[in-house]
Structure 1
Amino acid sequence: MGAAGSSALARPGLPAPPGPRWLGVAALGLAAVALGAVAWRRARSRRRGRLQQVGTVSELWIYPIKSCKGVSVDAAECTALGLRSGHLRDRFWLVINKEGNMVTARQEPRLVLISLTCEGDTLTLSAAYTKDLQLPVKTPTTNVVHRCRVHGLEIEGRDCGEAAAQWITNFLKTQPYRLVHFEPHMQPRNSHQVEDAFSPTDQIPYSDASPFLILSEASLADLNSRLEKKVKIANFRPNIVISGCGVYAEHQSLFK
């Protein structure tokens, strides 16, 4: 994204405008900050001054499968459960083991090599040196719904079928795994049960704690200035990348 096409981020202080909220090229970045920050609700009642630009949205990322590759998008809708672009939702798919526990790159580093993309009504699982697997966007309702566990909290997920399970198991080559999908009618997890700072009404599907992760380019540059081995934005798996702001402004502007 060029700087001219980036959308302005505003310091939180006013309620989000009514109707659908979108981010992206020529889209408002306020919705991302408002939905992504726990402190926004607390600050809203205290601060009703004029909006002040603090940066611009330079990148948007959706990570359909938890711990797998991200998809760069030009625009995304901010929902209460995270970013959405077409049929792709952030962390709405999850790899589980036979006990129903989540499996992430902490246990299986090769998960970061798997991508899930969508074209029309077809999802495609891809990885290097592995034949792509195509799945329907709508998982058959006859597929079993598993009781899964993400950071100790139970949540449902509909099984994506034997083909998906076999594809992931064959790629990781360690033990049997299955792929599950969170459906909108299912009960999300409560963020407050993961981190006390969140409101009791904040909810998430398979994300760790928050529906959004915001990171600035300035903060990454500051970190790399103190590292011998440089890291990239992708190492932190943010949904929203901000440019044109000071170091750690994404934290300071949200929690003042």
Structure 2
Amino acid sequence: MPPLPTSRFAWLCASAAVVALGAAAAWRWRHRRGGRRELVQVGTVSGLVIYPVKSCRGLPLERAEVTELGVQSGDLRDRFWLVTKEDGHMVTARQESRLVLVSVNCKNGHLILNAPEMTELAVPVKVPEKNPVKNCRVFGLDIQGQDCGDEVAHWFTTFLKSEPYRLMHYETDMAPRKCEKIMMPFRPKDEVAYSDCGPLLIISEASMEDLNTRLEKKIDLRYFRPNITVSGCDAYEEDTWGKIIIGDVEMKEVIACGRCILTTVDPDTGIIDRKEPLETLKRYRMCDPAEKHIHKSAPLFGSFFGIDKTGTIKVGDPVYKVIEC
């Protein structure tokens, strides 16, 4: 057999090294802590999205850090900014559906806001220390936020054309909300800033495809605002994974996500329908009667995960289910 060309030989060596590293990592997982764990690939990460300002547009990512409080990318952290009324009560697309039209990015230490017929606004990520810290009310629980100033408050008030609003920022030295106080069965260590109730929301592409077979008007995952999208698995399989590993991040499925009226807001127009996809989901995705005290009348779509080990994930990463042996 003639010798391989140098480039092809190098490629094969690199491929072998990747396989060896993967095998070594799997061996370490299987044998750590004196026990045995099997890792079974159940899918592949096909999408990552961060939502810096609650209810505003998400920002797709190729790579992200996962902290105890959720996704982070540079200066942006998931749901660390919150629009409120002047009395501190949160404002989301449930009340102001046009919030979904506000796009968010980050540049040179500034949160960049854009919206239809509005001038772009740059807001410092690091809020001036002189700005007041106020109590915010998020789903019945108090949590602090630092006021981002009058200019951005006027910007949101002008765009939404309603009562005066403020923009608040969660600082990392503030006390987070305990997920178990929002909804059981979250664990004592599960915490969030302004997210609804869990650090990470995962939905599979197959679940979205299955729902679309039942809808007259097709929609996409923007209606459901997941942080992680997974391909290569069956519909609703994400509800059954238990503990999973993505990259060097460990997470545990805690509870399915009960869906609300926000899922009926069109992300392209900001118009709230109040019917679909909720009515269709209610025909086949209601909870077990034993869990009705948790989900009440909300249909289930996607699953919340708590964080057991922080780290980095990226699009293309395999998703492994952990099986204790």
TM-score of the superposed pair, with normalisation by structure 1? 0.80
Tell me the equivalent position of 2:57: 69
1:117 to 105, 122, 145: 105
Secondary structure of 1:100's aligned partner? coil
Partner of 1:105: 93
Q: How many Å apart are 1:242 and its aligned residue?
A: 0.3
Q: What percentage of aligned pairs have identical amino acids?
A: 52
Deviation at 1:49, TM superposition (A): 2.5
2:129 aligned residue (135, 141, 165): 141
Letter of the 1:68 partner, please give it: C
Displacement, 1:230? 1.6
Shift of 1:116: 1.9
Q: Distance in 2 between matches of 1:171 and 1:48?
A: 56
Q: CA deviation at 1:124?
A: 1.0
Aligned equivalent of 2:142? 154
Partner amino acid, structure 1, of 2:90? M
Structure 2 CA distance, aligned partners of 1:130 and 1:228?
34
CA distance in 2, matches of 1:235, 1:154: 27
Q: In the TM superposition, what are the counterparts of 1:79-90 in structure 2 within 5 Å?
A: 79-90=67-78
| Aligned match of 1:3 | none
Query: Letter of the aligned partner of 1:97 in structure 2?
Result: K
The DSSP-based 3-state class of the residue aligned with 1:179 is strand
**Aligned partner of residue 91 in structure 1, secondary structure:** coil
Q: For structure 1, which runs of at least 5 residues remain unmatched after alignment?
A: 1-13, 18-44
Q: Residue 182 of structure 2 aligns with which residue?
A: 194
**What is the SS of the residue equivalent to 1:201?**
coil
Question: How far apart are 1:141 and its partner, in Å?
Answer: 0.7
Could you say which residue in structure 2 is the equivalent of 1:95?
83
* Alignment TM-score, normalising by the size of structure 2: 0.64
Give 3-state SS (helix, strand or coil) of 1:180's partner. strand
CA shift, 1:48, in A, is: 4.2
- Aligned partner of 2:153 in structure 1 is 165
Change (3 A) 1:48 1:219: farther
Structure showing greater radius of gyration is 2
CA distance in 1, matches of 2:234, 2:217: 23
- Does 2:226 align with 1:230? no
1:130 is matched with which residue? 118
Q: Deviations over 1:62-100 (max 9, x none)?
A: 000000000001100010000000001000000000111
SS at the partner of 1:128?
Answer: coil
- Segments of 4+ moved more than 4 angstroms: none
Q: Which runs of 5+ in 2 are unaligned?
A: 1-25, 243-252, 254-322
Once superposed, what is the RMSD of the aligned Cα atoms? 1.9
Mapped to 2, the partners of 1:149 and 1:137 lie a distance apart of 22
CA–CA distance in structure 2, aligned partners of residues 55 and 98 of structure 1: 44
In 2, distance between residues paired with 1:181 and 1:226?
Answer: 39
Counterparts in 2 of 1:70 and 1:97: CA distance versus 1, 3 Å: same
